[in-house]
Structure 1
Amino acid sequence: MESTGTVSAESIITRQESVQPVSLAERVQTIDIIRGVALLGILLMNIPFFGRAFYLESEPLLHPGSTDYNVFVFIAILFEGKMRALFSMLFGAGILIFIGRKEETAGSSSADFYYRRLLWMVLFGVIHEYVLMWVGDILFDYAISGLFLYPFRKLKPRQLLLCALVCIVIGGIKAERRNVQFREKREKYVQVIALEKAHKKLTDAQKKDKETWEKTVKDFRPDPKAVAELNQNMRSGYGTVFKTLEPENIRFHSTYLYLGIWDMVGMMFLGMALFKWGFFSNKLPTRTYWLTLLVGYGIGIPISFVGVYLLQQLVTNPTLFADTYWISPAVGYDVQRALVGIGHASLLLLLYRSGAVTWLMRALSNIGQMAFSNYVLQTLCCTLFFNGYGLGYFGKLAYHQLYYVVGAVWVINLLFNAIWLQFFRFGPLEWAWRSLTYWQPQPMRKLSA
């Protein structure tokens, strides 16, 4: 019995020693290209939260015809949510790539590497949010979501697609519940006003219903005092910024993870299905990519346009919206995100096949290969530019001017990748993550020719 146990232990050790990260030669370039675009695109949505008060999220919609308004609508229709959806799909595809190779070499211990990898990602997410001060961190949420996906790795593409649809439906139901609650507040308020006009005495509950709706309407308009206070705090030292963002961090990872996990897991399931079909790895016929491009844009963009229109009506006049419209701005949200995201990916794959812009494809591939490091680099650039322990530009730029900063950060990303990958195999954070996952330092420098 002892010798059998010894042989088993030795075989496990041998298997684990043979497990190595994906080499440069094994990387799927098209996946890196799409991941690079998704990573750069995510900053388009993140930049308003880096540089302005959270209360001003939809404020550009209050100024139709302005530059801020036009930029907001353009970003919202073509990119908002779509880049994150695409990034989530690629995360799902990456799960299958990681697990598939580990099961070939490590067998049953592939689960050890998988969960170790995600648990380290949880820690990276906490550091990213609470130390580097990015309240919109997705590393933590992706890691938690990914913990549930290992048992689904061997499902067929259609089964994974069904899982994605179930998640999207559940997420849609949750969104509609919030819309129903919004309308219920309005209905209760109308009933209270009718009682007041009839000179009826209001109960405490009815008074509260009235106050609740009035506060709901008021919250759609940014409070100048609250904005000024947040601006001052964010332009202060590190300690003040930490205290200011801490409750937002807690709220984000308690409410968003609860509400948004169906969004993330659903898109990851969809990405797993698309990867098994060969979509991301450029294995499908050209006509298929043209079809997914046309369907993705042809259906997804109009739905996105309707959502932005409804959001503008809601923000401009929440009372009129509640009395007039019976669908929420979130109608079809995850569907249009997925469709437009797939449309973007199809366009990139068609460009890649054409060979028209090889230099751009190479640059985007570098970004995708170092997505983790680039994601955190974006945070460092933005927090040091906007927060008080850096240059202190928080709240000083108009909405459209924030995108000048996006362009500058993209240039930094591109230059950093081009230089770094001349000498090293992985990005610095990719190297740290891999070394921790395999519990041994990975070779970092490229061998000279």
Structure 2
Amino acid sequence: MKRIEVLDGLRGFALLGILIVNINFFNESLMAISLGGLPVEGSLNETIKTVSALFVEGKFILLFSFLFGYGAVILYSNAEAAKRKFTPMFIRRMLALLFFGVLHGIFIWHGDVLTSYALMGLLLLPFIRRSPKTTLIWSIVFTLLIPLIMTLFMIVGSLSGGSNIENMYTIDPSQIIAFQQEDQQIYGEGTYMEMTAKRINDYIASLLNMILFFPQILGTFLLGAYFAKRKFFEDIYSKKSTFVKLGWVGGFAGIAFTIPRILSDSSNTLLDVGSVFIGAPLLMLSYVSIFSIVFMKYPKSLHFFTYPGKMAFSMYILQSIMCSLVFYSYGLGLFGKLTLWQTTATAFMLFGLQMLLSAFWLRHFKTGPLEYTWRILYRGK
């Protein structure tokens, strides 16, 4: 089956957004970030933080999830056309992805998402053969499951007289600084073995934190699968009016659910739930639509995103390798030394390098090195 250029472009676009967010996890302690992050100083850094919270954080990882679900249906269609058994092949594919994820999380970066994708990918299997309508219904169910449960707990806690249900804990700034200094000594100055021991703990903690988002990941997989079953990107021109509607509705509704959280600067509230579990998916759909519309009218203007998008797996891991070389002691050792505008600028520079590398690679090879290795692992050839 011929590659769908707009999907490759969207994958590349997702990689850029993911890098903008993830690079800060290489510069800050995981515990410090979980407690709200280091204080931001200067109007430029404050502006970047606000813009990132509104338009970037949580949106592009969902876009990656959406494309993962879309790709799974394409794999199924290709297997059916070739009269190959899909289920055992897909299980091997997810187990191989799990293998890569564990290696990535232990030896390169604790914030690995491949492990979560592999586990949720196995749960995607029962829905591959379902009708588009059923797939969409289950997508909505899984996407809204956690926000409904959390909202219910908050309401019950409030009605039962729970104290300060809006803010469950008080953050001590000195504690954030202490976590940052501890991690800086390890990641910025320690040996690789010291980093690995610390990274394993952070990897486990990060994976446990991700459990809360597992239903949302699965729901977004299913949303991508629904779009694939409706063949939205096989002929984007015939779906232009739908993309326009999704762009407007998703954009305005997503911003409406996100802005209150930013303005309130709150923690553990209904505003957090609305922003993370409702606002982010809506904005992600808006991005899909806007990117597709622009791609229809000006394909050459976005074509450079297709190069890293065609080897997204390799580029995702390469992002971690490059960031580790910038921030960890076995590289430049800049952990904790860059401000927000500097990490953001670094992200754009690294992604520019990735575009050049991927364009060069694809001139000589048909697929990325990790995509090739992955295929050998799950197909045996």
TM-score using structure 2 length:
0.91
CA contact (8 A) 1:135 1:245 kept: yes
C-alpha deviation, 1:331, in angstroms? 2.0
- In structure 2, what is the equivalent of residue 173 of structure 1? 148
C-alpha deviation, 1:334, in angstroms? 2.2
C-alpha deviation, 1:245, in angstroms? 1.9
| Aligned residue type for 2:194 | T
Out of 33, 39, 50, the residue aligned to residue 73 of structure 1 is 50
TM-score using structure 1 length:
0.78
C-alpha deviation, 1:351, in angstroms? 1.2
- In structure 2, what is the equivalent of residue 230 of structure 1? 183
- In structure 2, what is the equivalent of residue 345 of structure 1? 288
Q: How does 1:132-143 map to 2 (within 5 A)?
A: 132=108, 134-143=109-118
| Aligned residue type for 1:437 | Y
Deviations 1:369-428 (A, max 9, x none): 100000001000001110111110000011221112101211111111111000000000
Out of 246, 249, 256, the residue aligned to residue 203 of structure 2 is 249
- In structure 2, what is the equivalent of residue 301 of structure 1? 255
CA contact (8 A) 2:232 2:239 kept: no
C-alpha deviation, 1:182, in angstroms? 8.7
Deviations 1:181-224 (A, max 9, x none): 9979994599xxxxxxxxxxxxxxxxxxxxxx7xx314566432
1:421 and 2:362 matched: yes
C-alpha deviation, 1:59, in angstroms? 3.6
Three-state SS of the structure 2 residue aligned to 1:135 is coil
Cα distance in 1 between the residues matched to 2:214 and 2:154: 19
Gaps of 5+ in 1: 1-21, 191-212, 315-321, 441-449
CA contact (8 A) 2:11 2:312 kept: yes
* Residues 250 and 66 (structure 1), Cα distance of their counterparts in 2 relative to 1, 3 Å cut: same
| Aligned residue type for 1:304 | T
C-alpha deviation, 1:141, in angstroms? 0.5
Percentage of matched positions with identical amino acids: 27
| Aligned residue type for 1:292 | L
C-alpha deviation, 1:328, in angstroms? 3.7
Q: How does 1:50-449 map to 2 (within 5 A)?
A: 50-57=26-33, 58-59=36-37, 66-107=43-84, 109-132=85-108, 134-176=109-151, 187=162, 216-219=169-172, 222-235=175-188, 236-256=190-210, 258-281=211-234, 282=236, 284-310=238-264, 312-314=265-267, 327-355=270-298, 358=300, 360-440=301-381
- In structure 1, what is the equivalent of residue 23 of structure 2? 47
* Residues 415 and 102 (structure 1), Cα distance of their counterparts in 2 relative to 1, 3 Å cut: same
What RMSD in Å do the two structures reach over aligned CA positions? 2.6
CA contact (8 A) 1:307 1:333 kept: no
- In structure 2, what is the equivalent of residue 201 of structure 1? none
Cα distance in 1 between the residues matched to 2:160 and 2:191: 40
| Aligned residue type for 1:418 | A
Give the number of the structure with larger relative contact order, counting CA–CA contacts within 8 Å between residues 6 or more apart: 2
CA contact (8 A) 1:179 1:328 kept: no
* Residues 141 and 184 (structure 1), Cα distance of their counterparts in 2 relative to 1, 3 Å cut: farther
**Count of aligned positions:** 376
Consecutive aligned runs of 4 or more in structure 1 exceeding 6 Å deviation:
180-186
- In structure 2, what is the equivalent of residue 318 of structure 1? none
